[in-house]
Amino acid sequence: MKIAFVFPGQGSQAVGMAAGFADNAAAAAVMKTADAALGESLSGLIAEGPAEKLNLTVNTQPAVLSVSYALYSAWLAAGGVKPAVAAGHSLGEYTALLAAGTFTLEEAVKLVRFRAEAMQSAVPVGVGGMAAIIGITDEAVEKACAEAAEGEVVEPVNFNSPGQVVIAGNTAAVARACEKCKAAGAKRALPLAVSGPFHSKLLAGAAEKLGVRLSEVEVKTPAFDVIANVDAAVHTAPDDIRTVLARQAASPVQWVKTVHAMKAMGVTHVVECGPGKVLTGLIRRVDPTIETANISSVDAIAALLEKDGFRA
């Protein structure tokens, strides 16, 4: 039995997502530290909203990271085993590295707030967008994007599972690519309610800013393997971690390859730690032989600890 933990990204947030562990001392300590690091009541926004404010990228990213790490801290405090491997989807990669001791919590919260600001400001609102393409091959999506570009940017940016790819780029190019994907047999081509073309080449400026910011951050060697989004490989040297995190802002999230990498490393069980269950569903579609579980509350932690192999 080899256990991996995965951490969700932006889009998994919801007002009240910390309600399931409000009285847990370990989780409460994480939220208190996050509030102090940002100099504001992030925990209050998570608990009470409004949703419109929580859904702003600059708030969503530190909020999801903090809640996910609070759950991880509650898991350890309850006697849960540390993972042998970890990964995260986009923002979740920062949480995975935080769990592995690469950053301090204070630094991680401030870093993802900076990341959010850099990503949001890289492209004016309305200039870029994203869409989910369901039901055709990666190669068909890539071909549709190449044909739809017409001098603009549109490209696959999230390889989430077989038959589910997210594209991003200039708004008009994304719309053209959606039509071409439908013509190629896609079951659905859904524009996403996001404020920018995240992980596309249009965010090269954000990646550059992140590189500078990361050069100022203390990065420690992870305590366990963390698989990077950009190449589905494990990086342990601090400078290599800085490089792949900076690249990630303007590079595709290779989630399918990440799941395959876990399997190749001998992972048998994956625990999604954080709000929502998106990654659990994706992993099942990528490789249904991997056992999955989800911990988004103290009750879920207690239930999983009853199963063999999950206690430290």
Which amino acid appears at position 107 of this protein? E
Asked if 90 is an active-site residue, the reply is: yes
Active-site residue, selected from the candidate residues 199, 235, 296, 297: 199
Angle formed by the axes of helices 92-99 and 105-122, to 10°? 160
Catalytic pick from 43, 66, 68, 90?
Answer: 90
- Pairing between strand 188-191 and 3-7? unpaired
Radius of gyration, alpha carbons of the chain: 19
Other CB atoms closer than 10 Å to residue 44's CB: what's the count? 11
List all residues 6 or more positions away from 63 whose beta carbon is below 8 Å from its beta carbon.
Answer: 13, 17, 42, 45, 46, 54
Phi then psi dihedrals of residue 151, to 5 deg: 90, -10
Contact 93, 87 (CB under 8 A): yes
* Strands across the sheet containing 154-161: 154-161, 164-170, 128-134, 188-191
Distances (CA, A) of 59 to 11, 53, 67, 289: 12, 7, 12, 36
Q: Is 260 a catalytic residue?
A: no
CA 272 to centroid of chain Cα atoms:
11
Q: Which residues are identified as catalytic?
A: 90, 199
